[in-house]
Structure 1
């Protein structure tokens, strides 16, 4: 893959937005520094100004006051159209042009800034591959021929087309079903491992913020910053009751969003393919020492879970045998995603897949529960240490009060 442009720093200085007829500002005097190459999530209640703040970064909404600097350059006074060509932008429901093919949608900005045709064609193929869509299959399709998840992938590819250092994402996964949203989140994490862009991402979903963010900005009304910190710091030490309300109950379980499937043991599992004879599959199951075997399709993607009884009833055909694989996770999925998939499937395991959906292994319930217990134990130890520190501080304060000024013990 060609060398890509990595992320840029973003500085917001006294950023303000006022609308005529409103008594107060919609965004009031926001100051923030975002590091190059990090994912920062804006989260807050509806109407707090998070999307308005995001859109002022690429000046889709013009600021009333303040400054925006990208890599030290003040972009407040430059041509906003040129600015938007340098800042990727992805929105909910993808926002693709329905009369353009996938390739035409992706190549829009490169064509506008004068890239040669050969470079554009190469970039379109590269990006389709990057977001997990086969270029040969999707190049000439129209948006109406795509699923919601596929449209969102194309939307991300279009936002990345001109290789911008900054990517703004305004609730990009909010309009798809939960399983597709999980996979799109995993895809974004994988992409970021490769691209190292600066990503500013708006969501109303705190679990999504924990999963994706290097840091999270919890915003009050008018985009006042309640807390700007790492997900772990916000979960374990919320700044006040307002932030605690976003964290909600079960902070320890929410921390499962901080650990990835790649961080735990992925076990191998006996597998067979559709091309294997039924008798060979039966022999493989009998010799595996397990009660089931995983059937892979011709692209080595998980297809069905087969049990011994299924094979006995198959009578030479696998068409009606077994249970279809209902969900999978990638190595970039969180342990919470894996736990939900295991509980949904109700069979104690979930298959782990690669970027093309190919089988890589299995994560089981025992591994996941051990991780949950470790997190809970860590929280208990942290809480105990916190109480001990508080008791020591109180004892020191009491001792100081008893001694009085100059270390003289009071009568």
Structure 2
């Protein structure tokens, strides 16, 4: 489980600089929540993060983790208790994947058997086959795989706190979406306290239980839930940072698991064309989803695709272009559905196994409900403001005489 974190009047000044890099920041973070620090480049968000594990020593103020003042303990011991993941993974290139993950558990004195078991557990947890990746070196991994190993290493010694400094900023957008979903899944299982730095407000909405929007010198402009920031930004600075399309950004707040995931006819790549045709004739759809031998979505297959000229059923039809997990946002799902000519997307588990499908109609209904709820909330907020104004001025509410 996670630990509470308290920042008390935290400041950082550098010699020769007349203004502090971080100026009098106070913040309370609850155990097990994900707090995202977001703000313009150079505002001090990474400096604030690094002071939590004292990679940067604060000039003044205190940091408490579970009520322990960590500014008074050995910084090396502190860092072994706080997981840390950075952009481009930060893996040691001369060490194998297993050696990178085992680094901190070995430092804190775990037995060889315990370390070996933990490495396999961590690889499995982040969706990498231990038998395949155990002995590889970082240069043999894709960018997304390296980031997964970086997260596994940060979690290896089971720390209550995980600090993440723009960990997904150096990968392509598709891989970034998958890594964000993976982090959401891990957090759903592990309940760590995560402090996450990003400059991408969409990423902050997707990942954060609460978001701290920071001005220059890490001064907190607003610290609240994503819903509250989107619907009631504190001032023009926060509104400008949220940007246009706040209603659409709300789609990051609802997950695929929150909408109806429908069943759909499926067949296996090993099924005969006759079996596939029988499945097509026996259902309400003129298409089936072909699953590979691991139960993962493989191809969309129509009746005409089984003509003799099209070859074996395993290679017929149209490849599945994309899938979403249950932790994906409605925005992710909507994008996947819109690029699919059939207007649907397959939903998978964390190992890629097929769960069901969501279609355009389901997503649009959810979008309409979200927008209607926002309109109702905005109307209520305006009504409350009008009543407060009338109370201050002594005016009768409209409709009374």
Shorter-chain TM-score range: over 0.9
Give CA-to-partner distance per residue, 1:227-262, whole Å, 9 cap, x none. 000111111111001111122122222111111111
Query: Are 1:107 and 2:107 an aligned pair?
Result: no
Report which stretch shifted further, 175-184 or 193-202. 175-184
Distance across 2 between alignment mates of 1:170 and 1:305? 39
| Distance in 2, Cα, partners of 1:153 & 1:356 | 14
User: 1:182 and 2:169 equivalent?
Assistant: no
Aligned 8 A contact 1:43 1:209 in 2: yes
What does residue 3 of structure 2 align with? 8
1:48 aligns with 2:43: yes
CA distance in 2, matches of 1:68, 1:23: 24
Q: How does 1:140-289 map to 2 (within 5 A)?
A: 140-289=135-284
Distance 1:69 1:317 in 2: 63
Residues 1:322 and 2:335 aligned together: no
* Whole-angstrom distance in 2 between the partners of 1:188 and 1:314: 44
User: What aligned pairs does 1:357-376 form with structure 2 within 5 A after superposition?
Assistant: 357-376=352-371
Name the CA shift for 1:272/1:400 in 2 (closer, same or farther; >3 Å): closer
Matched ranges for 1:386-397 at <5 A:
386-397=381-392
Task: Say if 1:238 and 1:315 are closer, same or farther in 2 by CA, change over 3 A.
Answer: closer
C-alpha spacing 1:106/1:30, structure 2 compared with 1 (3 Å): same
What is the TM-score of this pair, normalised by structure 2? 0.96
- What is the CA distance between 1:308 and its match in structure 2? 2.1
**SS in structure 2 at match of 1:107:** helix
Corresponding residue for residue 78 of structure 1: 73
Aligned with residue 376 of structure 2, among 376, 381, 396: 381
Separation in 1 of the partners of 2:358 and 2:233?
32
Q: Deviations 1:280-320 (Å, cap 9, x if unpaired)? A: 11221222221211111110100111122222255441365
Compared with structure 1, are the counterparts of its residues 156 and 377 closer, same or farther at alpha carbon in structure 2 (3 Å cutoff)?
same
> TM-score, normalized by length of structure 1?
0.93
Query: Structure 1 residues 346 and 175 mapped into 2: Cα distance closer, same or farther (>3 Å)?
Result: farther
CA distance, structure 2, for counterparts of residue 83 and residue 41 of structure 1: 21
How far apart, CA to CA, are the structure 1 residues paired with 2:214 and 2:244?
19
Distance in 2 of aligned mates of 1:383 and 1:158: 44
Local SS of the residue matching 1:345: coil
Aligned residues: 397
Unaligned runs of 5+ in 1: 1-5, 402-411
